[in-house]
Structure 1
Amino acid sequence: MTFNLESYIPRLKACRDYFAKVYPVSDLIDDLLFADLAISQHHLPEKLPKLLLDDAMITEIQDFLAKQITPDMTELAIQQKVRPAEVLDELLTDFRDYLIEKYGMFAYISKDWTQDLLAYLDGRRVVELMAGNGFLTAGIRELKMDYPITATDNFDWQIMAHPIAPITKVIRMEASAAIEYYFQETDVFLLAWSPQHANSDWLILNYLRAHDFFVHSRELIVIGEKNGVTNSKKFWQQAQLSVPTALNKHWPQFDLVKDQVFSVR
């Protein structure tokens, strides 16, 4: 079934009602509903588990369905009993698409991970590039209101079908201009889920290298999927990457996207 933004949450709630007594399944659905509620209220959501029906859940669903189906049922009636499980599987797969379309949230910024990031930054001055709706910066500000972080974006993403206003202050500025403007007063540049089909990330890295940014604990932190759905091919080929344990311990990989948090030079 084609993804439909408006029907996503109602369909998810219908699955929650149907599987209310299949507790591992209903708990998983609750995780999504609570995450959606938090994000809708501009709060940090909790880390998500893997969004899939594992073997134990499938067994419980099968046992549940077996009690719903009787020998005298028609094929259509049986299919109607089984269909919610198929729908739920589709909805779990579509959750990231829902977050992107509904909120413009590409990288899932959870509360526990943001606490890790705040500790890792350790008071260093930060500028977020290509901040989009500002979820990452907003998360830092939610945990520490006066933290020295600035969010910038050119707002090109507002051409999407459902444009959404940023949830925190984001300064309208191209990434290249932001780097030049804030270069002297910045210790860390943050870049989350840079577009796959543009070389802007490589241009950012090249500029920082050319101007000797990576000295005195200054750092570029990138969130993305190496050779996957984020960032340019040239960036992944040329970047010197490390994967800080402190920034990946609670990073939520909840679907097929294997994004990570990188320290880049």
Structure 2
Amino acid sequence: MTSYLNKMISLVEELHLPLVDEQVIEIKFIIKCLDAKIPLPSAPNMLGIEPDVMDFYKEKLSAIDYQKLELVNQLLNNFRSYISRKYGVWSLANLNTAKEIVDKYNVHSILEIMAGNAYWSAAFSKLGVKAIATDNLEWAKGSCTGDLLFFPVKKLSAVDAIHKYRDVDIIICCWAPNFGSADMDIIEAYNAIQGKKPKLLFLGEKNGATNTARFWKSAKFKKSCELNSINHTISSFDFIDERFFEIK
């Protein structure tokens, strides 16, 4: 048990509030899945406490207990940061969303580029899909989470992976960085594919935590009932509005 979880559990036990008790149970379940290197069955519930709820408890709790609740809320809101540091993942893969993608797009093979520790590839593989995870692994050289793979990763740049595995049914890129040119390099490589193309999905937050400003301004996105259905299975667990985006 880490100091992060120890601190949260200690505070929650002192408060005795069902609202936060339930969220700690949720976090413990997520951690259990991450430790076992298995995807979640479905997207996690929302973590954190809404401002109006905090206002309500400010009137109900003592000053000391309210300070404890503020600390708990801060820890809940930092959960994504915690799992990125401990497990090397920014996005929580879940089987429900992966199955929706497989069903809606009739997916038998998938390529995950810039896969990191390949949590989403693990989810698709669990469903029987032929998954290929690739990453240049440069980030792993200086990260203590670089060897915490959820699924085997081939050392390959995103562009090279697109050229090599262009015959897959779908390509996904989860949480591309909001700096550099990697996301636009992917678009360029994808557009260069001749003949039938796989679908290309990015998972991230529009004009927010992921991808570059140029990407959000220049990339051409496709809207569809299938994509809407997929995104209905994703409920963001924090203030980041995580969604799938399909490239035309």
User: Normalising to structure 2: TM-score of the pair?
Assistant: 0.88
Contact 1:241–1:263 (Cα < 8 Å) also in 2: yes
Unmatched segments (≥5 aa) in structure 1: 67-77
Q: Which has more radius of gyration? A: 1
**Matched position secondary structure for 1:223:** strand
Question: Is this contact kept in 2: 1:108–1:252, CA < 8 A?
Answer: no
- 5+ long unaligned stretches in structure 2: none
User: Could you list the runs of 4 or more consecutive aligned residues of structure 1 that deviate by over 4 angstroms after TM superposition?
Assistant: none
Q: Aligned with 1:126: secondary structure? A: strand
Contact 2:107 2:170 in 1 (8 A): no
Partner of 1:210: 192
Q: CA deviation at 1:131?
A: 0.6
Q: Does the CA contact (< 8 Å) of 2:45 and 2:237 recur in 1?
A: yes
Counterpart for residue 221 of structure 1 = 201
Task: Report what 1:120 is aligned to.
Answer: 104
User: Are 1:242 and 2:222 counterparts?
Assistant: yes
Structure 1 residues 39-93: Cα deviation after superposition (integer angstroms, max 9, x where no partner): 1111222422222223457646754x35xxxxxxxxxxx53x4432121011011
Aligned to 1:34: 29
**Using the alignment, how far apart are the partners of 1:119 and 1:131 within structure 2?**
22
Are 1:199 and 2:184 an aligned pair? Answer: no
- State the one-letter code of the partner of 1:148: K
1:156 maps to 2:132: no
RMSD: 2.2
Measured in 2, the distance between the counterparts of 1:229 and 1:123 equals 28
Offset, 1:103: 0.8
Shift of 1:112: 2.2
1:27 maps to a residue whose letter is E
For residues 101-153 of structure 1, the C-alpha deviation after alignment (integer angstroms, 9 at most, x for no partner) is 11111122123222222323423321110110010000112232xx2221111
The Cα of 1:226 is off from its aligned counterpart by 1.5
Cα distance, 1:30–1:163 mapped onto 2, change above 3 Å:
same
Deviation at 1:200, TM superposition (A): 1.4
The aligned runs of 1:39-58 (5 Å cut-off) are 39-45=34-40, 46-54=42-50, 55-56=52-53
Residue aligning to 1:263 = 246
Q: Check 1:104–1:137 CA distance in 2 against 1; reply closer, same or farther (3 A cut).
A: same
Cα distance in 2, alignment partners of residues 180 and 119 from structure 1: 25
CA contact (8 A) 1:126 1:189 kept: yes
Deviation (angstroms), 1:35: 1.0
- Does the residue aligned with 2:133 lie in a helix, a strand or coil? strand
Range 112-121 or range 218-227, more displaced: 112-121
Query: CA contact under 8 A between 2:94 and 2:120: conserved in structure 1?
Result: no
> Which residue is 1:251 aligned to?
234
**Secondary structure of 1:150's match?**
strand
Which position in structure 1 is the counterpart of 2:8?
Answer: 12
Displacement of 1:196 in angstroms is 1.0
Would the aligned equivalents of 1:201 and 1:235 in 2 still touch at CA under 8 Å? yes
Task: Answer whether contact 1:189 1:219 (CA < 8 A) is retained.
Answer: yes
The aligned residue for residue 87 of structure 1 is 71
1:107 to 91, 103, 121: 91
Percentage of matched positions with identical amino acids: 23
Cα distance 1:37–1:16, how it changes in 2: closer, same or farther (>3 A)? farther
1:7-30 Cα distance to aligned partner (Å, 9 max, x none): 21111221332234x222211221
Q: How many residues align?
A: 242
Q: 1:165 Cα deviation (Å)?
A: 2.4
8 Å contact from structure 2 (residues 57, 66) kept in 1: no
CA distance, structure 2, for counterparts of residue 246 and residue 212 of structure 1 = 29
